[in-house]
Structure 1
Amino acid sequence: MIESDRLEQRGVRSEILLVLGVSLGSSAIYAILNIVNRLTYVKPLSQQTATLNPTVVADRPWLDLLYQLAGILLGVVPALLAVHMLRRAHDPLEVGLDASRPGGDAVLGVGLAALIGLPGLGLVWAARQLGVSAQIVPEALGDHWWSVPVLILSAVENGVLEEVVMIAYLLTRLRDLRLGWWTAIVVSAVIRGSYHLYQGFGGFVGNLVMGLVFGYFFRRTQRVMPLIVAHSILDIVSFVGYALLKDHLGFLS
């Protein structure tokens, strides 16, 4: 029995590393390399730019649209993989990955978005003033009929990918390894902050705090759907709001 348990634990550890390795774990590694590159570049970090939704093919909008849609669809695949692996040991209902409470999940999601988003805007401004963050450009798709719908889809993709992998999957599997709740939450939050380092240290701190809040919420409720809603709202406001109001956001510079 002891040997069987040891083999099972080893299998869970390998599974976690593989899921992270094909998703947000690899993003964290690249983001760490990116911040090293930024810090050793000739320009100060505060004078550099991080673009979140860039144009791929500027001179052929129809092809750029196909690139954007392909990126969104493929971006959801790691979340589907995480759900697939999670279902081998747990019912998705255990982590609140269902649509049984749409109204309650929506209300909680809006509340969480307000809780994170309003202080987050102040953090963005403070990080820019301190010179510890690059200038974040939430979108650079240009003025096309499809720009706003693509930005909304991109925001939802981010919400699904990050909350399914970093909360529903990772916290559950870390708990299967008998890690304490707060240890698991901190590990998840640090990884979340790390793959935002390409934005500078402001992005790291802001997303670390977001990971701690979201992890605590999941511990208390065992529901991930409100987190997906909240994350999607935050990114929709950021992406679409910037696209519509970028000429009036000089105070963030």
Structure 2
Amino acid sequence: MITRTTVDSWLRPSSPPPSEPPLDARERRTLWFEITIVLLVTFGLNGVYSALSLLESALQPGGLSEQAVALNPSRSTQSFIDLARQLLGVVKLAAWAALGLYLLWRSGLGPRRIGLGRTQVRDGILPGVGLAALIGLPGLAFYLAAVALDMNLTVMASTIDDHWWRLPVLVLWAIANSAAEEILVVAYLISRLRRLGWSENSSLLASALLRGSYHLYQGLGGGIGNVLMGLVFGRYWQRTGKLWPLVIAHALIDTVAFVGYALLRGHLSWLP
């Protein structure tokens, strides 16, 4: 049975990691430069673009729910060019994830220390499935409510044409999204803010707000929903130090959304 004590224990951050020597002014400045550059070439700049997209949508005639946005659109009318561009997008996200891993490794936080060790994969499967259910099902209800309240655009998970490669590519997109977001937005950003002396709650909030910002193109509902997801995922990592469950959960959520939409679109009247 879940008691108030259990909930309060979960909401409180865990004990911070062992303290490291404080940074001097030059080291702090260098670390801020690194964070700024990483965010400008990855999700931080995406957040700015998403905010502008939301503003543009809000200025269009009619409500937000009357407009649609595709998460995985076709990128060419030519099948082989579309495939190539889809794969390049996947590679870009994989490169972002690799950048985060490399910078963490250079600072002494290898994959095992952030919860991505090879031997830790198995331990992450069941918690990952549980987190996927915890976030995915309420997330769908939240999205439907946001659309009904005209706070969200109508989201089409995929508008890729029915090519032979469509479903495998959608799975690759789900995995790449998951790896890039959880490595950069959770492990990288929170650990870097810790190093700068931020509290666990402050670094968690910053991570969650970043996650919400680059989903604003979907509407206010998408932004708020992803902030809530970021709070849950970030706190889980802070308390357990395990990143595999987050990567697995995120990949499962996106795979079900992308592949399920592609297979059911045209067969269910309520799907756009």
* Superposition TM-score, scaled by structure 2 size: 0.89
Residue 139 in structure 1 maps to residue 158 in structure 2:
yes
Percent identity between matched residues is 41
More helix by share: 1
C-alpha RMSD of matched pairs (Å)? 1.5
The answer (yes or no) to whether the contact 2:23–2:196 under 8 Å persists in 1 is no
Structure 1 counterpart of 2:144 = 125
Q: Which runs of 5+ in 1 are unaligned?
A: none
Q: Which runs of 5+ in 2 are unaligned?
A: 1-20
The answer (yes or no) to whether the contact 2:57–2:64 under 8 Å persists in 1 is yes
**Compared CA separation, residues 239 and 4, structure 1 to 2 (3 A):** closer
Once residues 221 and 34 of structure 2 are traced to their aligned partners in structure 1, the CA distance between those partners, rounded to angstroms, is 31
**How far is 1:46 from its partner?**
1.2
Structure 1 counterpart of 2:173 = 154
Structure 2 counterpart of 1:89 = 107
Once residues 103 and 223 of structure 1 are traced to their aligned partners in structure 2, the CA distance between those partners, rounded to angstroms, is 12
**Compared CA separation, residues 42 and 85, structure 1 to 2 (3 A):** same
SS in 2 for 1:247: coil
The amino acid of 2:102's aligned partner reads: H
**How far is 1:100 from its partner?**
1.2
The amino acid of 2:89's aligned partner reads: G
**How far is 1:250 from its partner?**
4.3
Once residues 175 and 23 of structure 2 are traced to their aligned partners in structure 1, the CA distance between those partners, rounded to angstroms, is 40
Structure 2 counterpart of 1:72 = 90
**How far is 1:91 from its partner?**
2.4
The answer (yes or no) to whether the contact 1:152–1:240 under 8 Å persists in 2 is yes
Could you list the per-position Cα deviations for residues 89-129 of structure 1 after superposition, in whole angstroms to 9, with x for gaps in the alignment? 12222211222122211111111000000100100110111
Once residues 220 and 166 of structure 1 are traced to their aligned partners in structure 2, the CA distance between those partners, rounded to angstroms, is 16
Could you list the per-position Cα deviations for residues 8-56 of structure 1 after superposition, in whole angstroms to 9, with x for gaps in the alignment? 1111111111111110001001001111111111232111111110001
User: How many residues get paired?
Assistant: 251
**How far is 1:245 from its partner?**
1.1
Structure 1 counterpart of 2:184 = 165
Could you list the per-position Cα deviations for residues 193-221 of structure 1 after superposition, in whole angstroms to 9, with x for gaps in the alignment? 01000000110011000000001100111
The answer (yes or no) to whether the contact 1:52–1:138 under 8 Å persists in 2 is yes
Could you list the per-position Cα deviations for residues 51-80 of structure 1 after superposition, in whole angstroms to 9, with x for gaps in the alignment? 11000112x111111111111112211111
Following TM superposition, the consecutive aligned residue runs of length 4 or more in structure 1 with deviations greater than 2 angstroms are 247-253
Once residues 28 and 11 of structure 1 are traced to their aligned partners in structure 2, the CA distance between those partners, rounded to angstroms, is 23
SS in 2 for 1:42: coil
